[in-house]
Amino acid sequence: RKPDPCAIVLFGATGDLAQRKILPTLAHLIHDHPQPETMCIVAFARRPLGDDGWRSMVLESLDKYMPEDDKLDDEAKQAFAKRLFYCQSNFDEDEGYQRLKQLLEKLDKEQGTGGNRIYYLATPPDTDVEIIQSLGKAGLAQPEQTSQNGSSNGQQEKKSWVHIITEKPFGHDLESAKALNKVIGSVFHEDQIYRIDHYMGKETVQNIVALRFANSIMEPLWNQKYIDHIQIVVAESLGIESRAEYYEHAGAIKDIVQNHVMQILSLTCMEAPADFSPNDIRDEKVKVLRAICTLTPDEVAERTVRGQYTAGTMDGQQVPGYKQEKGVDPNSKTDTFMALKLYIENWRWADVPIYIRTGKRLPKRSTEVMVQFKRVPHQLYSKDEISGMKPNRLILRIQPEEGISLCIGAKKPGAANDLSSIDLDASYKTVFGIELPDAYERLIADCILGDSTLFIRRDEIEESWRIIDSITNAWTKMGPETVYPYAAGTWGPEEANKLIERDGREWVNP
Ligand code: BG6
């Protein structure tokens, strides 16, 4: 479908996320856009830059942050710069929003943005409420009820639209998420709200759905009768870089588990939706979260492990520990690693443990879902014969070597009946022969098209915070001594191994 023209108003336009990620993505989007002349980007920001100052700033960022093999040429960059406009204001300044209104109306007339708007909040979370309420107060949150083409000449009347994109973190616990949902819901309708989780824009995350529901061989096995357990790992080799202020309050649980892991988990475990409409898919995803019970303090003590990295070696380089990172409290007890066991209490998943691991400064960057199948009901081969064979495992490699791998047993050639494991492996890049598109580009394009399937609905956010709150509340009572150290470059504290080994299982490292 051809996207409508629109103006994207970027809040936090001079900040790190906008400069590093959002603007390069928009530059690519405009470059690949079928109607490049009809999309404008408006920065709403405090610094006195003006259109020219902002254009120069963005051009510099494009040079700095666009990957070498993905850079736009000068002509494309200049064409992008012409789409950039600046509205100088503080976030709490009523007149600023009136100036924004005038600028947007001018762009409708002069640039043909058609009254369609996206407000993109790439701002620190404590400013969100102020911005949302100010947009409402200025009459900017709802579309003008005018037609674009006019009906007098026989053309069909077309209403303009207004969408809002919010970046994570969406709240810091259930209560704050509910409060934020209430504020945003008092100004925008739910179908105008696009809560981003960039993992949902990754091709390989969407491929979980294709694998499960476009292939008849998966679904009959996808349940507690055949699956022994599931592991989800989101491992990062990076530390916290320059994000101490944010990370100190988030930790691994709020930075990764509450959002990215819960999204991967719900796609992996949901029932088949009736169709691909945004609400059908999200109805199924939220049912998975609802089936995860609030953990009791005893369950939290038994099923979770927190860790924090200490100094160590990564790729032969010495790296500092978390407490030595710039801006981190030297006595910090923030979790940079967590392991967790969850159960989904429904017919499909009864008694199937879902093990989750995530952490910074782990040996490599890798996100995977590993589904381990049960052993055959009756073993014909002797213990010795199968000693070299691993259980059947299906591994969905979300990143970086995107692909899928199935581990099966096979007889080794020769007179003996010895079995071994072989991997049936496919890499998406090799099979399709193209680089996978950027997650943000897909999500912003979907928001322009008005497709919210890959965005997080209000109830999903609240359900995931309910689960996370039960863990963090118990951790607070357990005290800081249960944050175990692990050396950078290792797979987390020993306690995480004990968590899974107690169940007679082991972590499968990517
Ligand atoms: C972000 C987290 O949401 O996801 C970061 O805030 C993390 O801490 C990042 O590094 C990981 O994203 P990706 O796409 O590199 O896996």
- What is the tens place of the pLDDT at every residue in 284-312? 999 999 999 999 999 999 999 999 999 99
Question: Which tokens go with 376?
Answer: 């055959």
Ligand 1 atom closest to the Cα of residue 234 is 16
Are the C-beta atoms of residues 285 and 462 closer than 8 Å to each other? no
Mean pLDDT of the chain: 94
Pocket probe for ligand 1: among 170, 197, 198, the residue whose CB has the most ligand atoms within 8 Å is 198
236 lines ligand 1 (CB under 6 A): yes
For residue 150, name the pLDDT band (cuts at 50, 70, 90): very low
Q: Could you give the percent of the chain with pLDDT greater than 70?
A: 96
Q: Does the pLDDT value for residue 236 go beyond 50?
A: yes
- From residue 76, alpha-carbon distances to 22, 47, 96, 505 in Å are 17, 26, 31, 53
pLDDT of amino acid 438: 87
pLDDT, tens digit, 9 for 90 and up, residues 484-509: 999 999 999 999 999 999 999 999 99
255 lines ligand 1 (CB under 6 A): yes
For residue 34, name the pLDDT band (cuts at 50, 70, 90): low
pLDDT of amino acid 242: 87
Least confident interval from 17-26, 66-75, 202-211, 331-340:
66-75
DSSP strand E in 168-279: where? Answer: 193-195, 227-235
Minimum CA distance residue for ligand 1 atom 15: 236
Q: Does the pLDDT value for residue 151 go beyond 50?
A: no
Taking residues 445-474, what's their average pLDDT? 96
pLDDT of amino acid 128: 94
Taking residues 384-399, what's their average pLDDT? 96
31 is annotated as an active-site residue:
no
* CB-side neighbour CA atoms (13 Å) of 182: 6
pLDDT of amino acid 33: 66
SS3 449: helix
Please give the radius of gyration of the chain, using alpha carbons only, rounded to the nearest integer.
25
- DSSP, residue by residue, 54-90: HHHHHHHHHHHHS-GGGPPPHHHHHHHHTTEEEEE--
